[in-house]
Amino acid sequence: MSCVLSFGNGLKKYNSCKLKSSRFSENLQVSFSRGVIVVQKVKIRGVNRELKFILDSGSEYSFISDNIANEIGFSPSFSEEITDGFEKRNFQLGLLDIQIGSIEFNEVGVGIINSRQMEKMCDIDGYIGYNLMKCCIWKLSKEEITITDKIKNIQNLDDYSRQKLFNGPTVEAGFESGYNATMLFDLGDNGTVEIQEPRIVLIKDKQTTTGIGELYTTVFGNGNQSDKSIHKLIKVSGFKFGGDIVKNMVVYTDNAPQFPIDIIGAGILNYYNIILDFPSKRLYSQNISNEYLNQGFKTYGFTYNLINNDMIIKFIWDYSTAQKAGLKIGQKIEEINNTRVNDLNKLKNCEIYQKIDSLLNQEQVLIKIQGKNDYITLKKSPLFSFE
């Protein structure tokens, strides 16, 4: 998950861009990789290839990797403090022209991030932030996006429910048995819905499960999380959005420093096609599924990191298969289904993650823990009892 919000004063010119193109409507194929939208036809002057950027409406600024910055000789000229809820960090910002497909965006406020922070994603070169997105209209799905400067270019608009966008990419949403709230529409977050922990008491019909460890990373890394951080999943009877309800939604919260707002992440695209009409401050949603896809949150119950090419357990859900099997945070997994993790070292880090994820993408897995003689068989099971 990643959400970047800026609370500094900054210079106004970095918070927007100049849209050079006009009278356009362009369809682009995208990939839905590791839960976020990846745009694959991004161009920057000085780079003789198409680049891949993550679409991140939750970030006030856009970002490029340090590799791209070095390649084009990008020179930032302004410093801004940015926070993502876990920590604050100063970023050097500059202005850059960016092209998506044939659409040109000039003077986009851009910061630089370390390429290693994107190692789970293959060949990602940066983030398209809110300052660029708000210049036009975006029709979003998991397979395709349409970028246009006129809402009349969007066909079948009557099939969509219309809502108001508030103060940037925020929108009203809520729970069938709980409350309504203004939520940040953050495409850089790979979850579906994340709520502030104090909100849990407001939801009447719910089930809750907890876990301990470092659950996820953001554009800044792990922030202040530790192997003792507590995270919660809450199964709710229904999540309300745009007049429709997704039943049995599982939402997330934790005990880390909280955002001042709840979050709708890119996972919402499993249930809705979305149109973000930033110039007119409207959001349109089209319901495509009204039942949560992973009912019960079926899982082995652990997550991992690659540290110096070692697969290290960083998080375990309570009462999960992993916990019942005795797995501990910090343990090193040496083998998965007779494939040695160290034998994957010839691959890039992102390719190792992809290979390991494919090995874990089945109902049952056999693993070997360093220092243990016996192999452990794990079977996926739901964290909630309703499945």
Query: What pLDDT is stored for residue 89 in this prediction?
Result: 72
Within this chain, do residues 362 and 236 fall inside the same structural domain, yes or no?
no
> CA–CA separation, 39 vs 125, rounded Å?
10
The structure's pTM equals 0.89
Segment-wise mean pLDDT, segments of 10 residues, the chain, 387 residues? 44 80 93 90 94 93 93 87 62 91 94 80 90 96 95 94 91 94 92 90 92 71 66 93 93 71 93 96 96 85 90 94 95 95 88 91 94 94 72
Q: How many CB atoms lie within 10 A of CB 102?
A: 12
Run of H or E residues at 231: strand 230-236
Within this chain, do residues 274 and 139 fall inside the same structural domain, yes or no?
no
Residue 292 lies in a domain: no
CATH code for the domain in which residue 222 is found: 2.40.70.10
Within this chain, do residues 84 and 108 fall inside the same structural domain, yes or no?
yes
Query: What pLDDT is stored for residue 217 in this prediction?
Result: 59
Q: Which of 131, 153, 175 is the last residue of a domain?
A: 153
Within this chain, do residues 126 and 214 fall inside the same structural domain, yes or no?
no
Within this chain, do residues 170 and 148 fall inside the same structural domain, yes or no?
no
Q: What tokens were used for 129?
A: 């932030």
Give the torsion sign (CA, 187, 165, 238, 146): negative
Q: What residues contact 358, with CB distance under 8 A and at least 6 apart?
A: none
Within this chain, do residues 191 and 214 fall inside the same structural domain, yes or no?
yes
Q: Which of 287, 314, 332 is the last residue of a domain?
A: 287
Query: What pLDDT is stored for residue 386 in this prediction?
Result: 43
Query: What pLDDT is stored for residue 115 in this prediction?
Result: 80
Residue 387 lies in a domain: no
> CA–CA separation, 201 vs 374, rounded Å?
43
CATH code for the domain in which residue 362 is found: 2.30.42.10
Domain count, the chain: 3
- Host domain of residue 378: 298-382
Give the position of tokens 């990602």.
124
Within this chain, do residues 314 and 354 fall inside the same structural domain, yes or no?
yes
Residue 246 lies in a domain: yes
Q: How many CB atoms lie within 10 A of CB 361?
A: 9
By DSSP bridging, strand 250-254 and strand 180-185 are unpaired
Query: What pLDDT is stored for residue 346 in this prediction?
Result: 86
